Amino acid sequence: MVANCDVVVLAVKPQVLTEVCADIAAAVQEHQPLLISIAAGVRSDAIQRWLGGGVSLVRVMPNTPALVQSGAAGLFASAAVSDAQRGAAESIMRAVGLTLWVEDEASMDAVTALSGSGPAYFFLVMEPMEQAGQALGLSAESARLLTLQTAFGASKMALESEQGAAELRRRVTSPGGTTEAALKVLSNGNIAGLFADALAAAHARSVEMSNTLGEN
């Protein structure tokens, strides 16, 4: 299959990528297709080593909202990737959401911490919001729908607005109102610090996993 493709997507678990590369290395060296790796945490230098080097390789860190064409993916290209191949990789990933190129592969660990793991952070916020809504007297279905639509609406507003998140928050927060009362509680709980610590932990784990996976 590899010998007959111009683009090959490596969509496998990182733990088996070494074996996969060993199986296709000869065909890759002979045919020289563009390789797109979405194997989490495996750096380009390791993949190049397993494939024999000199490969046109784009490493991608997508996230699970790609399943509903709303993903966010960071991309990093090796030096051998041509402009046409960069365009092909970007077109493929754009089919399932937003794409963003990074020039330094080390930034892929930050992409992993922010958007790769990010959907889980929002799910974690949505879950207690639903529970709190029920505790205040709403039915489970009403609390769920209101939470989901509010999350969707806030994201859509942020995407379509020229203003940043801080300004959008300010505009919806009336002095002395209900939103201000809720935000004070969240601020007193150091929500900003918690997110900073959470992303730092995810970033550190991404670096650690990359080091371990690249030792093969």
For 145-191, what is each residue's pLDDT tens digit? 999 999 999 999 999 999 999 999 999 999 999 999 999 999 999 99
The pair of three-digit structure tokens given for residue 106, joined into one six-digit string: 């080390």
The pair of three-digit structure tokens given for residue 176, joined into one six-digit string: 């002395």
Phi then psi for 72, rounded to 5 degrees?
-135, 125
Q: Label residue 214 by pLDDT band (50, 70, 90).
A: confident
Write down all domains in the chain, each with its CATH number in brackets.
2-111 (3.40.50.720), 118-205 (1.10.3730.10)
For 36-68, what is each residue's pLDDT tens digit? 999 988 999 999 999 999 999 999 999 999 999
pLDDT of 215 reads: 74
The pair of three-digit structure tokens given for residue 178, joined into one six-digit string: 């209900």
3-state SS of 94-154 is: HCCEEEEECCCCCHHHHHHHHHHCHHHHHHHHHHHHHHHHHHCCCCHHHHHHHHHHHHHHH
The closest alpha carbon to 126, from 105, 144, 101, belongs to: 144
pLDDT of 167 reads: 97
DSSP 95: T
Q: Would the pLDDT of 98 be above 70?
A: yes
Q: Label residue 135 by pLDDT band (50, 70, 90).
A: very high
Distance CA 97, CA 70 (A): 5
Q: Label residue 28 by pLDDT band (50, 70, 90).
A: very high
Q: Label residue 213 by pLDDT band (50, 70, 90).
A: confident
Residue-averaged pLDDT of the chain: 96
For 106-117, what is each residue's pLDDT tens digit? 999 999 999 999
Q: Label residue 216 by pLDDT band (50, 70, 90).
A: low
CB contact at 8 A, 108 and 207: no
Q: Label residue 206 by pLDDT band (50, 70, 90).
A: very high
